[in-house]
Amino acid sequence: MRLRCAVLDDFQDVSTTIADWSPVRDRVDVTAFTEHFTTEDELASAIADFDIVVTLRERVRFPASLLDRLPRLKLVVASGMRNSVIDYAAAERNGVTVCGTRSFPTPPVELTWALLLGLARGLVTENNSLRTGGAWQSTVGADLHGRRLGLLGLGKIGSRVARVGLAFGMEVTAWSPHLTKARTDEVGVELASSKEELLRGSDYVSLHLVLGDTTRGLLGAPELALMKPSAHLVNTSRAGLVDQDALLAALREGRIAGAAVDVFDTEPLPAGHPLRTAPRLLATPHLGYVSELNYRTYYTEAVENITAYLSGAPVRRLH
């Protein structure tokens, strides 16, 4: 009997063309879903007859309540080698193998700088004005050279962001709950004595932390109040690191100069969500990992994972 594979959230409809699926075509029928399922009931109904599911990053949750409703499901392939929204115990109990793929840190680094530069130089405002016959030069851009970039997190992504900041001639400091001076010395940046010191002294703050119990809500109203009125905040990591209501209030009241975000508590962002119309905000629809390199890798390795599973020797297993 042929197996059925569902590819979730293939918004650009590229999953079956950006990678070669021929190694499994003789055994597997692939269906790409280009729309997001907003409720667990919708998702459970849509994939009830599928044996394999390919899912992007952590957008779709796989709790026990969902996995228990999918008796036919045998394999989940998630892009990346870390996923916090899959109940692994429930997967094991239901006989579901979970595998991952590689994911490169460079695309989110590049988007971080696209957002930071776009925010600092008012690119969206100026582009819209030019295209609609508006004012010629209506903003005064903020400088990067000589300004302080504060990084919350100095891992694979944060360290690369730091090196670009240094290349721009910025002063770069970093802090995270377990960051050491040995690590900051290795990257060539300063270690902030505390999160509060970093927020007070930075002209630009960028987040690059894993979301967990110790980092959820890391920046709330008290922390945002420490930032300079001229400072900018960039979040391409996880929405849960920042209190969204506190950020909205800070933007609406002009307590910070602006923010750029690529991640949201609910994705896709609902049509009427206040972040869609917030002032001083540059927002993108979670594009950090969305690049040709990553997509080709995700789906190519998804095919490899399916092939290995069918041969009885799963690879890149997650747990």
Give the whole-angstrom CA distance, residue 182 versus residue 167.
Answer: 21
238 is catalytic: yes
Phi, psi of 124 (to 5 degrees): -65, -45
**Strand pairing report for 232-235 and 28-32:** unpaired
Give the whole-angstrom CA distance, residue 66 versus residue 202.
Answer: 43
Give the whole-angstrom CA distance, residue 237 versus residue 234.
Answer: 9
Residue 193 in tokens: 């004595």
Give the whole-angstrom CA distance, residue 136 versus residue 130.
Answer: 7
Residue 280 in tokens: 């001083």
171 with 149: CB under 8 angstroms? Answer: yes
296 is catalytic: no
Give the whole-angstrom CA distance, residue 223 versus residue 199.
Answer: 7
CB under 8 A, 24+ apart: contacts of 176-180: 176/152, 176/209, 177/214, 177/215, 179/154
186 is catalytic: no
Give the whole-angstrom CA distance, residue 272 versus residue 214.
Answer: 31
Per the residue annotation, which of 267, 273, 296, 316 is the catalytic one? 267
Q: How far is CA 28 from CA 9, 21, 46, 52, 310, in A?
A: 19, 9, 17, 9, 10
Give the whole-angstrom CA distance, residue 184 versus residue 297.
Answer: 31
Per the residue annotation, which of 57, 148, 232, 238 is the catalytic one? 238
2: helix, strand or coil: coil
Per the residue annotation, which of 147, 223, 286, 301 is the catalytic one? 286
Q: Which residues are CB-neighbours of 309 under 8 A, at least 6 positions away?
A: 52, 74, 75, 97, 99
Question: Which amino acids are annotated catalytic?
Answer: 238, 267, 286
